[in-house]
Amino acid sequence: MGLAVSDPLGVTAQGIDTLEVSSRKEALEELCKLVRELRAGEVLIGLPLRTDGSEGPEAEEVRSFGEELSAWAGVRVVFRDERFTSQEAMRVLHQMGRKLKGRKKDLDRLSATLLLQRYLEERRKHGTR
């Protein structure tokens, strides 16, 4: 699971260590721990929409997970379309001259960073914090 955090002012996104878990419960526990450590007030989760923008079973599962995380951690959870973030991250890694083979963690972290950065820019554009 790729993770990123924003600076305290909500201007920039930085990738942090990728979270590797073996169960939904473990993911919830680890994310709750991270929310407490970072004193996060909001969690952004990428929503895996279909190419046409509709929601399928994967998106429903992610929404269910996000609602559970919100209840467990006591934070607001927001969802944003994550389509094409992996492709964009692959392009960035390629432009940096990094080989993509064996770089799943880097790809996930960069994808999370790109998604969060877009969200922060969207918030600034609309005057919200």
- What's the CATH number where 74 sits? 3.30.420.140
CA distance linking residue 4 with residue 6, whole number of Å: 7
pLDDT for 51-106, tens place per residue? Answer: 999 999 999 999 999 999 999 999 999 999 999 888 888 888 888 877 766 678 88
Which residues make beta-bridge pairs with 81? 47
SS3 13: strand
Task: Provide the residue range defining the domain that includes 31.
Answer: 3-125
Which residues make beta-bridge pairs with 35? none
Which residues make beta-bridge pairs with 4? 15
pLDDT value for 129: 59
Does 44 or 96 have the greater pLDDT score?
A: 44
| Other C-beta atoms lying within 10 Å of the C-beta of residue 34 | 17
Single pTM value for the model: 0.87
User: What is the number of domains present in the chain?
Assistant: 1
pLDDT value for 81: 93
Average per-residue pLDDT for the chain: 92
